[in-house]
Structure 1
Amino acid sequence: MKKTVLLLITYLLIFNQSAGTISGAELESQPLYETVKELLPPEAEFIKPNTPESVSSIQVYDFDQDDQQEMMVTYRLENGLGKLHALLLKKEGNQWKKIWETTSEGFDIEYSGFEDITGDGVGEFVIAWGIGASAGNKLEVYRWDEGTLKRIIKPRFFHRMELLKGENQTSLALWERYCCDAFLVDVLTWASKDLVSDEELYRQYYPKIKNFYESKIKEMDAWFYWYVLADAQLKANLIEDATESIQKGLTFIHGKEEFIELRRRLEGKTATQNATQ
Protein backbone atom coordinates (compact mmCIF):
# COMPACT_ATOMS: atom_id res chain seq x y z
CA MET A 1 0.00 0.00 0.00
CA LYS A 2 2.88 2.42 0.90
CA LYS A 3 4.42 1.79 -2.52
CA THR A 4 1.12 2.57 -4.25
CA VAL A 5 0.71 5.82 -2.29
CA LEU A 6 4.30 6.84 -3.10
CA LEU A 7 3.73 6.22 -6.82
CA LEU A 8 0.50 8.17 -6.64
CA ILE A 9 2.18 11.17 -4.99
CA THR A 10 4.93 11.09 -7.62
CA TYR A 11 2.36 11.05 -10.42
CA LEU A 12 0.47 14.03 -9.00
CA LEU A 13 3.70 15.99 -8.58
CA ILE A 14 4.42 15.45 -12.27
CA PHE A 15 0.87 16.49 -13.04
CA ASN A 16 1.30 19.75 -11.09
CA GLN A 17 -1.17 22.16 -12.68
CA SER A 18 -4.01 24.21 -11.20
CA ALA A 19 -6.49 21.93 -12.99
CA GLY A 20 -6.22 18.98 -15.28
CA THR A 21 -7.38 15.58 -16.37
CA ILE A 22 -5.86 12.19 -16.88
CA SER A 23 -6.41 10.87 -20.38
CA GLY A 24 -8.61 7.82 -20.78
CA ALA A 25 -5.88 6.01 -22.74
CA GLU A 26 -3.43 6.35 -19.85
CA LEU A 27 -5.91 5.85 -17.04
CA GLU A 28 -5.85 2.09 -16.56
CA SER A 29 -2.05 1.94 -16.68
CA GLN A 30 -1.61 4.40 -13.83
CA PRO A 31 -1.40 3.50 -10.13
CA LEU A 32 -3.86 6.33 -9.63
CA TYR A 33 -6.60 4.25 -11.25
CA GLU A 34 -6.16 1.32 -8.85
CA THR A 35 -5.92 3.61 -5.82
CA VAL A 36 -9.20 5.34 -6.70
CA LYS A 37 -10.89 2.03 -7.52
CA GLU A 38 -10.14 0.79 -3.99
CA LEU A 39 -12.19 3.68 -2.59
CA LEU A 40 -15.28 2.97 -4.71
CA PRO A 41 -17.94 0.29 -4.32
CA PRO A 42 -17.01 -3.00 -6.04
CA GLU A 43 -19.75 -2.53 -8.66
CA ALA A 44 -18.60 1.00 -9.59
CA GLU A 45 -17.91 1.80 -13.25
CA PHE A 46 -15.94 4.91 -14.20
CA ILE A 47 -17.75 7.40 -16.49
CA LYS A 48 -15.90 9.60 -18.96
CA PRO A 49 -17.88 12.85 -19.43
CA ASN A 50 -18.83 13.69 -23.01
CA THR A 51 -17.22 17.14 -22.76
CA PRO A 52 -14.68 18.67 -22.67
CA GLU A 53 -13.18 16.29 -25.23
CA SER A 54 -9.91 15.83 -23.32
CA VAL A 55 -11.53 15.07 -19.97
CA SER A 56 -11.49 11.67 -18.25
CA SER A 57 -13.35 10.14 -15.32
CA ILE A 58 -10.64 11.35 -12.92
CA GLN A 59 -9.81 15.07 -12.76
CA VAL A 60 -7.64 17.04 -10.36
CA TYR A 61 -8.02 20.57 -9.02
CA ASP A 62 -6.71 22.49 -6.01
CA PHE A 63 -9.99 23.78 -4.56
CA ASP A 64 -8.59 25.02 -1.24
CA GLN A 65 -5.45 26.52 -2.80
CA ASP A 66 -3.07 24.61 -0.49
CA ASP A 67 -0.85 23.34 -3.35
CA GLN A 68 -2.34 19.84 -2.86
CA GLN A 69 -4.73 18.81 -5.62
CA GLU A 70 -8.02 17.10 -4.86
CA MET A 71 -9.46 14.44 -7.16
CA MET A 72 -12.93 14.51 -8.73
CA VAL A 73 -14.19 11.11 -9.86
CA THR A 74 -17.28 10.43 -11.95
CA TYR A 75 -18.80 6.96 -11.93
CA ARG A 76 -21.98 4.88 -11.89
CA LEU A 77 -22.96 1.68 -10.15
CA GLU A 78 -23.50 -1.20 -12.57
CA ASN A 79 -26.96 -1.90 -11.15
CA GLY A 80 -27.64 1.61 -9.89
CA LEU A 81 -30.82 2.14 -11.93
CA GLY A 82 -29.62 5.31 -13.62
CA LYS A 83 -27.75 6.75 -10.64
CA LEU A 84 -24.69 8.81 -11.57
CA HIS A 85 -22.07 9.89 -9.05
CA ALA A 86 -19.47 12.65 -8.68
CA LEU A 87 -17.04 12.04 -5.82
CA LEU A 88 -14.36 14.35 -4.39
CA LEU A 89 -11.28 12.83 -2.76
CA LYS A 90 -8.79 14.75 -0.62
CA LYS A 91 -5.40 13.56 0.62
CA GLU A 92 -5.11 13.66 4.39
CA GLY A 93 -1.74 12.49 5.64
CA ASN A 94 -0.86 9.46 3.56
CA GLN A 95 -4.43 8.52 2.65
CA TRP A 96 -7.08 9.67 0.22
CA LYS A 97 -10.48 10.20 1.84
CA LYS A 98 -13.97 10.87 0.53
CA ILE A 99 -14.98 14.38 1.55
CA TRP A 100 -17.95 15.07 -0.75
CA GLU A 101 -20.26 13.24 -3.10
CA THR A 102 -23.38 14.01 -5.09
CA THR A 103 -25.66 11.87 -7.24
CA SER A 104 -28.23 12.38 -9.96
CA GLU A 105 -30.52 10.38 -12.16
CA GLY A 106 -29.32 10.16 -15.75
CA PHE A 107 -27.77 8.14 -18.53
CA ASP A 108 -24.40 9.88 -18.84
CA ILE A 109 -22.46 12.99 -17.86
CA GLU A 110 -22.55 15.66 -20.55
CA TYR A 111 -19.98 17.98 -18.95
CA SER A 112 -17.65 17.91 -15.97
CA GLY A 113 -14.96 20.50 -15.30
CA PHE A 114 -13.69 23.47 -13.33
CA GLU A 115 -14.52 27.03 -14.34
CA ASP A 116 -14.33 30.35 -12.48
CA ILE A 117 -18.05 31.12 -12.66
CA THR A 118 -18.12 33.58 -9.74
CA GLY A 119 -15.01 35.54 -10.75
CA ASP A 120 -13.27 35.08 -7.39
CA GLY A 121 -10.13 33.58 -8.91
CA VAL A 122 -10.95 29.99 -7.90
CA GLY A 123 -12.68 27.50 -10.16
CA GLU A 124 -16.10 26.11 -9.36
CA PHE A 125 -17.05 22.53 -10.15
CA VAL A 126 -19.46 22.55 -13.09
CA ILE A 127 -21.34 19.36 -13.94
CA ALA A 128 -24.13 18.63 -16.39
CA TRP A 129 -25.99 15.36 -15.93
CA GLY A 130 -27.30 13.84 -19.17
CA ILE A 131 -30.95 13.02 -18.48
CA GLY A 132 -32.06 12.07 -22.00
CA ALA A 133 -32.50 13.24 -25.57
CA SER A 134 -35.87 14.85 -24.82
CA ALA A 135 -35.24 16.19 -21.31
CA GLY A 136 -31.72 17.36 -22.11
CA ASN A 137 -29.15 17.98 -19.39
CA LYS A 138 -29.27 19.22 -15.80
CA LEU A 139 -26.64 21.83 -14.90
CA GLU A 140 -25.27 22.22 -11.37
CA VAL A 141 -22.46 24.47 -10.08
CA TYR A 142 -20.60 23.87 -6.81
CA ARG A 143 -18.19 26.16 -4.93
CA TRP A 144 -15.58 25.22 -2.32
CA ASP A 145 -16.78 26.44 1.08
CA GLU A 146 -15.71 25.42 4.59
CA GLY A 147 -13.92 22.26 3.54
CA THR A 148 -16.52 20.92 1.14
CA LEU A 149 -18.42 21.72 -2.05
CA LYS A 150 -21.75 23.54 -1.84
CA ARG A 151 -24.22 24.05 -4.66
CA ILE A 152 -24.62 27.73 -5.52
CA ILE A 153 -27.40 27.70 -8.14
CA LYS A 154 -30.70 25.93 -8.57
CA PRO A 155 -30.39 23.25 -11.27
CA ARG A 156 -30.89 24.57 -14.80
CA PHE A 157 -31.87 22.49 -17.80
CA PHE A 158 -30.47 22.78 -21.32
CA HIS A 159 -29.78 20.84 -24.49
CA ARG A 160 -26.63 22.64 -25.60
CA MET A 161 -24.11 24.62 -23.56
CA GLU A 162 -21.25 26.91 -24.52
CA LEU A 163 -18.69 28.30 -22.09
CA LEU A 164 -17.98 32.00 -22.66
CA LYS A 165 -14.61 32.68 -21.08
CA GLY A 166 -14.06 36.30 -20.14
CA GLU A 167 -11.05 38.04 -18.67
CA ASN A 168 -11.99 37.32 -15.05
CA GLN A 169 -14.78 34.76 -15.15
CA THR A 170 -16.68 32.28 -17.29
CA SER A 171 -20.27 32.89 -18.41
CA LEU A 172 -22.64 30.36 -19.96
CA ALA A 173 -24.80 30.23 -23.06
CA LEU A 174 -27.57 27.69 -22.56
CA TRP A 175 -29.72 26.48 -25.44
CA GLU A 176 -32.98 24.86 -24.29
CA ARG A 177 -35.09 23.07 -26.89
CA TYR A 178 -38.37 24.83 -27.63
CA CYS A 179 -39.61 22.79 -30.56
CA CYS A 180 -37.95 20.45 -33.03
CA ASP A 181 -34.47 21.90 -33.56
CA ALA A 182 -35.38 25.41 -32.36
CA PHE A 183 -33.90 26.55 -29.04
CA LEU A 184 -34.51 29.34 -26.58
CA VAL A 185 -31.12 30.77 -25.65
CA ASP A 186 -30.04 32.34 -22.36
CA VAL A 187 -26.66 33.97 -21.75
CA LEU A 188 -25.91 33.94 -18.04
CA THR A 189 -23.29 35.62 -15.85
CA TRP A 190 -22.75 35.33 -12.11
CA ALA A 191 -23.99 38.36 -10.21
CA SER A 192 -23.78 38.38 -6.41
CA LYS A 193 -25.77 35.23 -5.60
CA ASP A 194 -26.94 33.63 -8.85
CA LEU A 195 -26.56 33.31 -12.59
CA VAL A 196 -28.55 36.09 -14.27
CA SER A 197 -29.28 37.09 -17.85
CA ASP A 198 -26.53 39.33 -19.23
CA GLU A 199 -27.94 41.62 -21.92
CA GLU A 200 -24.59 43.08 -22.96
CA LEU A 201 -22.96 39.68 -23.34
CA TYR A 202 -26.11 38.36 -25.04
CA ARG A 203 -25.76 41.07 -27.67
CA GLN A 204 -22.16 40.00 -28.31
CA TYR A 205 -23.22 36.37 -28.58
CA TYR A 206 -26.30 37.11 -30.71
CA PRO A 207 -24.58 36.84 -34.16
CA LYS A 208 -24.05 33.13 -33.51
CA ILE A 209 -27.76 32.71 -32.76
CA LYS A 210 -28.70 34.77 -35.82
CA ASN A 211 -26.48 32.75 -38.16
CA PHE A 212 -27.90 29.50 -36.80
CA TYR A 213 -31.54 30.47 -37.44
CA GLU A 214 -30.96 32.21 -40.74
CA SER A 215 -29.56 28.93 -42.08
CA LYS A 216 -32.52 27.03 -40.63
CA ILE A 217 -35.05 29.45 -42.14
CA LYS A 218 -33.43 29.04 -45.57
CA GLU A 219 -34.08 25.31 -45.30
CA MET A 220 -37.61 25.65 -43.90
CA ASP A 221 -39.49 28.91 -43.29
CA ALA A 222 -41.21 27.73 -40.08
CA TRP A 223 -42.93 29.85 -37.43
CA PHE A 224 -40.98 28.31 -34.54
CA TYR A 225 -37.64 29.48 -35.98
CA TRP A 226 -38.98 33.04 -36.17
CA TYR A 227 -40.30 32.71 -32.61
CA VAL A 228 -36.98 31.77 -31.01
CA LEU A 229 -35.16 34.31 -33.20
CA ALA A 230 -37.49 37.10 -32.02
CA ASP A 231 -37.02 35.95 -28.42
CA ALA A 232 -33.25 36.22 -28.86
CA GLN A 233 -33.57 39.67 -30.42
CA LEU A 234 -35.64 40.89 -27.47
CA LYS A 235 -33.06 39.52 -25.02
CA ALA A 236 -30.31 41.27 -26.99
CA ASN A 237 -32.39 44.50 -26.96
CA LEU A 238 -32.48 44.62 -30.76
CA ILE A 239 -35.86 46.35 -30.94
CA GLU A 240 -36.12 46.90 -34.70
CA ASP A 241 -35.04 43.36 -35.53
CA ALA A 242 -37.46 41.92 -32.97
CA THR A 243 -40.31 44.02 -34.39
CA GLU A 244 -39.71 42.68 -37.90
CA SER A 245 -39.46 39.07 -36.70
CA ILE A 246 -42.68 39.33 -34.67
CA GLN A 247 -44.51 40.85 -37.63
CA LYS A 248 -43.26 38.00 -39.81
CA GLY A 249 -44.30 35.46 -37.17
CA LEU A 250 -47.86 36.79 -37.04
CA THR A 251 -48.29 35.93 -40.74
CA PHE A 252 -48.14 32.19 -39.96
CA ILE A 253 -51.24 30.16 -39.16
CA HIS A 254 -49.61 28.53 -36.12
CA GLY A 255 -48.01 30.18 -33.10
CA LYS A 256 -50.11 33.37 -33.09
CA GLU A 257 -50.57 33.37 -29.30
CA GLU A 258 -46.84 33.00 -28.80
CA PHE A 259 -46.09 35.95 -31.09
CA ILE A 260 -48.77 38.08 -29.41
CA GLU A 261 -47.00 37.43 -26.10
CA LEU A 262 -43.68 38.43 -27.69
CA ARG A 263 -45.34 41.63 -28.91
CA ARG A 264 -46.41 42.40 -25.35
CA ARG A 265 -42.83 41.93 -24.19
CA LEU A 266 -41.65 44.20 -26.99
CA GLU A 267 -44.16 46.91 -26.05
CA GLY A 268 -43.14 46.69 -22.41
CA LYS A 269 -39.46 46.96 -23.23
CA THR A 270 -40.11 49.92 -25.56
CA ALA A 271 -42.20 51.72 -22.93
CA THR A 272 -39.48 51.23 -20.31
CA GLN A 273 -36.81 52.61 -22.63
CA ASN A 274 -38.96 55.64 -23.55
CA ALA A 275 -39.59 56.37 -19.85
CA THR A 276 -35.87 56.45 -19.07
CA GLN A 277 -34.95 58.77 -21.95
Structure 2
Amino acid sequence: MKKKVWVFIIFLLVFLQPLGTTVAAKTELQPLYETVKELLPTEAEFIIPNTPDSVSSIQVFDFDQDGQQEMMVTYRLENGLGKLHALLLKKEGNQWKKIWETTSEGFDIEYAGFEDITGDGVGEFVIAWGIGASAGNKLEIYRWEENTLKRIIEPRFFHRMELLKGENQTSLALWERYCCDAFLVDVLTWASKGLVSDEDLYRQYYPQVMSYYEAKIKEMDAWFYWYALADAQLKANLMVEVTESIQKGLTFIHGKKEFNELRRRLEAKTSPQNATQ
Protein backbone atom coordinates (compact mmCIF):
# COMPACT_ATOMS: atom_id res chain seq x y z
CA MET A 1 0.00 0.00 0.00
CA LYS A 2 2.79 2.44 0.95
CA LYS A 3 4.53 1.66 -2.33
CA LYS A 4 1.43 2.68 -4.30
CA VAL A 5 1.20 5.97 -2.37
CA TRP A 6 4.80 6.84 -3.18
CA VAL A 7 4.29 6.01 -6.89
CA PHE A 8 1.30 8.38 -6.95
CA ILE A 9 3.33 11.16 -5.26
CA ILE A 10 6.16 10.76 -7.78
CA PHE A 11 3.59 10.95 -10.59
CA LEU A 12 2.35 14.26 -9.23
CA LEU A 13 5.86 15.71 -8.90
CA VAL A 14 6.98 14.68 -12.37
CA PHE A 15 3.89 15.43 -14.44
CA LEU A 16 1.97 18.18 -12.69
CA GLN A 17 4.90 20.50 -11.93
CA PRO A 18 5.79 21.16 -15.61
CA LEU A 19 2.12 21.73 -16.33
CA GLY A 20 1.97 24.45 -13.69
CA THR A 21 5.15 26.05 -15.04
CA THR A 22 3.72 26.18 -18.58
CA VAL A 23 0.52 27.79 -17.41
CA ALA A 24 2.48 30.39 -15.46
CA ALA A 25 4.59 31.23 -18.52
CA LYS A 26 1.50 31.73 -20.67
CA THR A 27 -0.04 33.89 -17.97
CA GLU A 28 3.04 36.13 -17.93
CA LEU A 29 2.87 36.58 -21.73
CA GLN A 30 -0.84 37.32 -21.80
CA PRO A 31 -0.53 41.10 -21.16
CA LEU A 32 1.87 41.37 -24.13
CA TYR A 33 -0.57 39.59 -26.43
CA GLU A 34 -3.40 41.85 -25.34
CA THR A 35 -1.24 44.92 -26.02
CA VAL A 36 -0.16 43.70 -29.45
CA LYS A 37 -3.68 42.73 -30.52
CA GLU A 38 -4.73 46.36 -30.18
CA LEU A 39 -2.03 47.38 -32.70
CA LEU A 40 -2.76 44.71 -35.31
CA PRO A 41 -5.55 44.49 -37.91
CA THR A 42 -8.63 42.71 -36.58
CA GLU A 43 -8.08 39.80 -39.01
CA ALA A 44 -4.48 39.23 -37.83
CA GLU A 45 -3.52 35.77 -36.58
CA PHE A 46 -0.34 35.16 -34.54
CA ILE A 47 2.20 32.71 -36.03
CA ILE A 48 4.54 30.66 -33.86
CA PRO A 49 7.76 29.97 -35.84
CA ASN A 50 8.64 26.29 -36.25
CA THR A 51 12.09 26.87 -34.76
CA PRO A 52 13.94 27.45 -32.49
CA ASP A 53 12.36 25.27 -29.82
CA SER A 54 10.01 26.93 -27.34
CA VAL A 55 9.85 30.14 -29.38
CA SER A 56 6.72 32.31 -29.27
CA SER A 57 4.95 34.55 -31.76
CA ILE A 58 6.10 37.45 -29.56
CA GLN A 59 9.82 37.74 -28.79
CA VAL A 60 11.63 40.47 -26.88
CA PHE A 61 15.11 41.79 -27.64
CA ASP A 62 17.00 45.01 -26.92
CA PHE A 63 18.06 45.97 -30.45
CA ASP A 64 19.29 49.48 -29.69
CA GLN A 65 21.02 48.51 -26.42
CA ASP A 66 19.19 51.18 -24.40
CA GLY A 67 18.08 48.83 -21.64
CA GLN A 68 14.49 48.75 -22.96
CA GLN A 69 13.45 45.60 -24.82
CA GLU A 70 11.57 45.82 -28.09
CA MET A 71 8.92 43.30 -29.21
CA MET A 72 9.15 41.30 -32.44
CA VAL A 73 5.79 39.91 -33.51
CA THR A 74 5.11 37.32 -36.23
CA TYR A 75 1.63 37.06 -37.69
CA ARG A 76 -0.47 36.58 -40.81
CA LEU A 77 -3.71 38.09 -42.05
CA GLU A 78 -6.50 35.51 -42.22
CA ASN A 79 -7.42 36.63 -45.75
CA GLY A 80 -3.93 37.73 -46.71
CA LEU A 81 -3.40 35.10 -49.43
CA GLY A 82 -0.15 33.78 -47.97
CA LYS A 83 1.16 37.09 -46.65
CA LEU A 84 3.35 36.65 -43.57
CA HIS A 85 4.45 39.53 -41.36
CA ALA A 86 7.23 40.35 -38.90
CA LEU A 87 6.56 43.52 -36.91
CA LEU A 88 8.85 45.37 -34.49
CA LEU A 89 7.31 47.39 -31.66
CA LYS A 90 9.16 49.86 -29.45
CA LYS A 91 7.92 51.40 -26.23
CA GLU A 92 8.00 55.18 -26.20
CA GLY A 93 6.84 56.52 -22.85
CA ASN A 94 3.87 54.36 -21.95
CA GLN A 95 2.91 53.53 -25.53
CA TRP A 96 4.04 50.73 -27.86
CA LYS A 97 4.58 51.98 -31.42
CA LYS A 98 5.25 50.24 -34.72
CA ILE A 99 8.74 51.15 -35.93
CA TRP A 100 9.44 48.48 -38.57
CA GLU A 101 7.64 45.77 -40.49
CA THR A 102 8.42 43.37 -43.31
CA THR A 103 6.30 40.87 -45.20
CA SER A 104 6.80 37.82 -47.38
CA GLU A 105 4.78 35.28 -49.29
CA GLY A 106 4.71 31.88 -47.65
CA PHE A 107 2.83 29.27 -45.67
CA ASP A 108 4.61 29.53 -42.33
CA ILE A 109 7.74 30.84 -40.62
CA GLU A 110 10.45 28.21 -40.36
CA TYR A 111 12.74 30.23 -38.06
CA ALA A 112 12.69 33.55 -36.26
CA GLY A 113 15.21 34.54 -33.63
CA PHE A 114 18.17 36.67 -32.63
CA GLU A 115 21.77 35.63 -33.33
CA ASP A 116 25.06 37.51 -33.46
CA ILE A 117 25.82 36.76 -37.10
CA THR A 118 28.23 39.66 -37.68
CA GLY A 119 30.26 39.11 -34.50
CA ASP A 120 29.86 42.69 -33.28
CA GLY A 121 28.45 41.66 -29.91
CA VAL A 122 24.86 42.57 -30.81
CA GLY A 123 22.28 40.11 -32.13
CA GLU A 124 20.73 40.35 -35.56
CA PHE A 125 17.18 39.34 -36.41
CA VAL A 126 17.23 36.11 -38.42
CA ILE A 127 14.03 35.01 -40.14
CA ALA A 128 13.32 32.17 -42.56
CA TRP A 129 10.02 32.32 -44.39
CA GLY A 130 8.51 28.92 -45.23
CA ILE A 131 7.76 29.14 -48.96
CA GLY A 132 6.78 25.50 -49.57
CA ALA A 133 8.00 21.90 -49.61
CA SER A 134 9.59 22.25 -53.04
CA ALA A 135 10.88 25.82 -52.86
CA GLY A 136 12.06 25.48 -49.29
CA ASN A 137 12.66 28.51 -47.09
CA LYS A 138 13.80 32.08 -47.73
CA LEU A 139 16.44 33.39 -45.31
CA GLU A 140 16.76 37.07 -44.42
CA ILE A 141 18.98 38.76 -41.81
CA TYR A 142 18.38 42.23 -40.38
CA ARG A 143 20.64 44.48 -38.30
CA TRP A 144 19.73 47.52 -36.20
CA GLU A 145 20.96 50.65 -38.00
CA GLU A 146 19.81 54.28 -37.83
CA ASN A 147 16.88 53.50 -35.52
CA THR A 148 15.43 50.76 -37.69
CA LEU A 149 16.17 47.27 -39.00
CA LYS A 150 18.00 46.97 -42.31
CA ARG A 151 18.51 43.81 -44.32
CA ILE A 152 22.19 42.95 -44.59
CA ILE A 153 22.12 40.02 -47.04
CA GLU A 154 20.31 39.19 -50.24
CA PRO A 155 17.69 36.50 -49.54
CA ARG A 156 19.04 32.96 -49.65
CA PHE A 157 16.98 29.82 -50.16
CA PHE A 158 17.45 26.55 -48.29
CA HIS A 159 15.59 23.45 -47.13
CA ARG A 160 17.36 22.91 -43.84
CA MET A 161 19.36 25.26 -41.64
CA GLU A 162 21.64 24.65 -38.69
CA LEU A 163 23.08 27.39 -36.49
CA LEU A 164 26.77 26.88 -35.67
CA LYS A 165 27.49 28.92 -32.57
CA GLY A 166 31.09 29.98 -32.02
CA GLU A 167 32.70 32.01 -29.26
CA ASN A 168 32.07 35.39 -30.88
CA GLN A 169 29.50 34.83 -33.60
CA THR A 170 27.03 32.39 -35.12
CA SER A 171 27.64 30.80 -38.52
CA LEU A 172 25.11 28.98 -40.70
CA ALA A 173 24.98 25.58 -42.38
CA LEU A 174 22.44 25.73 -45.20
CA TRP A 175 21.23 22.57 -46.94
CA GLU A 176 19.65 23.25 -50.35
CA ARG A 177 17.85 20.43 -52.15
CA TYR A 178 19.68 19.28 -55.26
CA CYS A 179 17.75 16.18 -56.25
CA CYS A 180 15.30 14.02 -54.33
CA ASP A 181 16.69 13.95 -50.78
CA ALA A 182 20.21 14.94 -51.77
CA PHE A 183 21.29 18.41 -50.64
CA LEU A 184 24.17 20.72 -51.45
CA VAL A 185 25.52 22.15 -48.20
CA ASP A 186 27.10 25.55 -47.64
CA VAL A 187 28.73 26.63 -44.37
CA LEU A 188 28.73 30.40 -44.15
CA THR A 189 30.36 32.92 -41.82
CA TRP A 190 30.06 36.69 -41.81
CA ALA A 191 33.17 38.44 -43.07
CA SER A 192 33.44 42.16 -43.77
CA LYS A 193 30.16 42.88 -45.57
CA GLY A 194 28.51 39.54 -46.17
CA LEU A 195 28.25 35.80 -45.66
CA VAL A 196 31.10 33.84 -47.21
CA SER A 197 31.95 30.15 -47.45
CA ASP A 198 34.06 29.09 -44.48
CA GLU A 199 36.37 26.24 -45.50
CA ASP A 200 37.81 25.66 -42.02
CA LEU A 201 34.39 25.51 -40.39
CA TYR A 202 33.10 23.36 -43.25
CA ARG A 203 35.78 20.81 -42.48
CA GLN A 204 34.62 20.70 -38.86
CA TYR A 205 31.00 20.35 -39.94
CA TYR A 206 31.74 17.82 -42.70
CA PRO A 207 31.31 14.67 -40.52
CA GLN A 208 27.58 15.46 -40.28
CA VAL A 209 27.32 15.71 -44.06
CA MET A 210 29.35 12.53 -44.52
CA SER A 211 27.22 10.64 -42.00
CA TYR A 212 24.05 11.65 -43.82
CA TYR A 213 25.29 10.46 -47.21
CA GLU A 214 26.86 7.27 -45.93
CA ALA A 215 23.43 6.29 -44.61
CA LYS A 216 21.72 7.29 -47.87
CA ILE A 217 24.21 5.41 -50.04
CA LYS A 218 23.67 2.27 -47.97
CA GLU A 219 19.97 2.52 -48.76
CA MET A 220 20.47 3.31 -52.47
CA ASP A 221 23.75 3.64 -54.34
CA ALA A 222 22.65 6.61 -56.46
CA TRP A 223 24.79 9.06 -58.43
CA PHE A 224 23.16 12.16 -56.91
CA TYR A 225 24.19 11.11 -53.38
CA TRP A 226 27.78 10.71 -54.54
CA TYR A 227 27.61 14.07 -56.30
CA ALA A 228 26.37 15.89 -53.18
CA LEU A 229 28.98 14.10 -51.06
CA ALA A 230 31.78 15.02 -53.50
CA ASP A 231 30.60 18.65 -53.51
CA ALA A 232 30.87 18.69 -49.71
CA GLN A 233 34.33 17.11 -49.78
CA LEU A 234 35.54 19.72 -52.25
CA LYS A 235 34.19 22.56 -50.11
CA ALA A 236 35.88 21.00 -47.06
CA ASN A 237 39.18 20.82 -49.01
CA LEU A 238 39.36 17.02 -48.66
CA MET A 239 41.21 16.41 -51.93
CA VAL A 240 41.79 12.65 -51.65
CA GLU A 241 38.20 11.96 -50.69
CA VAL A 242 36.67 14.13 -53.42
CA THR A 243 38.90 12.54 -56.06
CA GLU A 244 37.68 9.09 -55.05
CA SER A 245 34.04 10.21 -55.01
CA ILE A 246 34.33 11.75 -58.49
CA GLN A 247 35.87 8.53 -59.82
CA LYS A 248 32.99 6.57 -58.28
CA GLY A 249 30.45 9.02 -59.69
CA LEU A 250 31.77 8.67 -63.23
CA THR A 251 30.94 4.95 -63.14
CA PHE A 252 27.20 5.75 -63.15
CA ILE A 253 25.23 6.12 -66.38
CA HIS A 254 23.73 9.42 -65.25
CA GLY A 255 25.44 12.51 -63.84
CA LYS A 256 28.64 12.43 -65.93
CA LYS A 257 28.31 16.11 -66.86
CA GLU A 258 27.97 17.06 -63.20
CA PHE A 259 30.95 14.97 -62.09
CA ASN A 260 33.12 16.34 -64.90
CA GLU A 261 32.24 19.85 -63.73
CA LEU A 262 33.25 18.85 -60.19
CA ARG A 263 36.54 17.56 -61.58
CA ARG A 264 37.17 20.92 -63.28
CA ARG A 265 36.47 22.69 -59.99
CA LEU A 266 38.91 20.35 -58.26
CA GLU A 267 41.61 20.96 -60.86
CA ALA A 268 41.14 24.72 -60.59
CA LYS A 269 41.42 24.53 -56.81
CA THR A 270 44.60 22.45 -56.90
CA SER A 271 46.32 24.27 -59.76
CA PRO A 272 49.83 25.64 -59.03
CA GLN A 273 48.55 29.19 -59.55
CA ASN A 274 45.92 28.71 -56.85
CA ALA A 275 48.38 27.01 -54.51
CA THR A 276 50.72 30.03 -54.54
CA GLN A 277 47.99 32.58 -53.80
TM over 0.5: yes
Q: Quick one: percent identity of the two aligned structures?
A: 87
Residue 38 of structure 1: how far off its partner (Å): 0.3
Greater Cα shift, 266-275 or 239-248: 266-275
Could you tell me which residue of structure 2 aligns to residue 106 of structure 1?
A: 106
1:16-165 to 2 correspondences below 5 Å: 26=26, 30-165=30-165
Residue 31 of structure 1: how far off its partner (Å): 1.4
CA deviations on 1:49-83 (whole Å, 9 max, x unpaired) are: 00011101000000000110000000000000000
Greater Cα shift, 198-207 or 22-31: 22-31
CA deviations on 1:130-174 (whole Å, 9 max, x unpaired) are: 000000000000000010000000000000000000000000000
Could you tell me which residue of structure 1 aligns to residue 238 of structure 2?
A: 238
Could you tell me which residue of structure 2 aligns to residue 267 of structure 1?
A: 267
Residue 27 of structure 1: how far off its partner (Å): 6.3
> Which runs of no fewer than 5 residues in structure 1 stay unpaired?
1-21
Aligned residues: 256
In structure 2, the CA distance between the partners of 1:136 and 1:243, relative to structure 1 (3 Å rule), is same
Secondary structure class of the residue paired with 1:30: helix
Q: Is the 8 A contact 2:268 2:274 kept in 1?
A: no
In structure 2, the CA distance between the partners of 1:41 and 1:255, relative to structure 1 (3 Å rule), is same
Residue 272 of structure 1: how far off its partner (Å): 4.4
Q: Distance in 2 between matches of 1:276 and 1:110?
A: 43
Could you tell me which residue of structure 2 aligns to residue 208 of structure 1?
A: 208
Paired amino acid for 1:50: N
In structure 2, the CA distance between the partners of 1:105 and 1:202, relative to structure 1 (3 Å rule), is same
Residue 270 of structure 1: how far off its partner (Å): 1.1
Secondary structure class of the residue paired with 1:88: strand
Secondary structure class of the residue paired with 1:185: strand
Residue 200 of structure 1: how far off its partner (Å): 0.4
Could you tell me which residue of structure 2 aligns to residue 250 of structure 1?
A: 250
1:181-200 to 2 correspondences below 5 Å: 181-200=181-200
Could you tell me which residue of structure 1 aligns to residue 228 of structure 2?
A: 228
Q: Distance in 2 between matches of 1:203 and 1:23?
A: 44
Secondary structure class of the residue paired with 2:271: helix
Q: Is the 8 A contact 1:23 1:56 kept in 2?
A: no
Residue 116 of structure 1: how far off its partner (Å): 0.1
Secondary structure class of the residue paired with 2:270: helix
Q: Distance in 1 between matches of 2:220 and 2:273?
A: 34
| Structure 1 stretches of at least 4 aligned residues deviating more than 3 Å after TM superposition | 22-25, 272-275
Q: Distance in 2 between matches of 1:157 and 1:236?
A: 21
Q: If the length of structure 2 is used for normalisation, what is the TM-score? A: 0.90
Paired amino acid for 1:85: H
Residue 28 of structure 1: how far off its partner (Å): 9.0
Paired amino acid for 2:136: G
Q: Distance in 2 between matches of 1:32 and 1:165?
A: 30
Q: If the length of structure 1 is used for normalisation, what is the TM-score? A: 0.90
Q: Distance in 2 between matches of 1:272 and 1:106?
A: 47
* RMSD value, Cα: 1.7
In structure 2, the CA distance between the partners of 1:62 and 1:132, relative to structure 1 (3 Å rule), is same
Q: Distance in 2 between matches of 1:198 and 1:206?
A: 12
